[in-house]
Amino acid sequence: MQLTDDEIREILIKQKKRKRRQQRMRRRITLLFIVILIIGAAVTVLVMHSRGNGVGILPAKGVIFIDPGHGGSDPGSASDGRNEKDDNLVFAIAVKKALARQGFRVIMSRTGDEDVERARRGELANESGAQLMVSFHRNKSNGKGQGVEVFIPSDSSRESQLLGMSVFDALISCGFKERSIRTGTLESEKEDYEELAAAEMPCCLVEVGFIDNKDDNKLFDDNLRTNAKAVATAINDTFTELYAPEEAEKAEESAEQ
């Protein structure tokens, strides 16, 4: 059957309309795909940023207080132009990042070269609602000392002992030599460090090698991320041991209600 001019024109018009609809549909699908990609990328950035800062979209596993010792006008120990306060901050930041990746919210007593009184550090830990506190330092002994030493409060609570031992073992596994886990301070066995005395949660102070020992400094510098990850894992293991059973019990009680 032969089509009339009007019929042909109508078919052509319908074809053009169909093509326009198809083009609009493709544009919509493309736009939707782009929007989905943008949203996905934005969510990824937010998650990575929040984890890096110790906070997250999902509730944090727990709160850990990290104290880089000394700072500001108090350089701590020094050797060959190297200041303890700087090493403490570098190590603390590395541990914070490792803990954040494990889902913790991490609070620090200082994030720059700031003066913070020792007792105030423990008070800040209390105010933050932290469940564990670790203070990082470096030792010095005229080039004769080497290794890791950990101090815990003189009340020698099981919780602080567990935390101190876990961090101690973690650093030994990274190659540092063993020294001791003990109460008191470097100067006196009868007094606690002020930050530990003020803290109301399980806590410890860690001397991460000797700043005037070349072998300790090499371990500290070359294995910074490995050391920090090991310490973060030790803190996580301690947290799980102390608080996971409690959380599981709460969840069980909530389910029963």
Task: Per-residue pLDDT tens, the chain, 257 aa: give them.
Answer: 555 666 556 656 766 677 677 778 888 888 888 888 888 777 766 655 554 454 444 567 999 999 999 999 999 999 999 999 999 999 999 999 999 999 999 999 999 999 999 999 999 999 999 999 999 999 999 878 999 999 999 986 799 999 999 999 999 999 999 999 999 998 888 899 999 999 999 999 999 999 999 999 999 999 999 999 999 999 999 999 999 865 545 544 554 55
Sorted by where each begins, the domain ranges of the chain are: 1-52, 60-247
User: Do 85 and 137 form a contact (C-beta atoms < 8 A)?
Assistant: no
Would you state the pLDDT for residue 17? Answer: 74
Q: How many CA atoms lie within 13 A of 211 on its CB side?
A: 20
Would you state the pLDDT for residue 74? Answer: 97
Question: Which residues, 6 or more positions from 17, have their beta carbon under 8 angstroms from its beta carbon?
Answer: none
CB count in 10 Å sphere of residue 103: 15
Q: Report how far residue 66's alpha carbon sits from residue 100's, in angstroms, rounded to the nearest whole number.
A: 12
Give bridge partners of residue 108 from the DSSP assignment.
66
Q: Report how far residue 177's alpha carbon sits from residue 115's, in angstroms, rounded to the nearest whole number.
A: 31
Q: Say how many Å lie between the first and final Cα of the chain, rounded.
A: 79
* Gyration radius of the chain over CA positions: 29
pLDDT in tens, 71-109: 999 999 999 999 999 999 999 999 999 999 999 999 999
Averaged pLDDT score across all residues of the chain: 87
- Which CATH number fits the domain 60-247, given the four candidates 3.40.50.300, 3.40.630.40, 2.40.160.60, 3.40.190.10? 3.40.630.40
Two structure tokens written together for 145: 């000392």
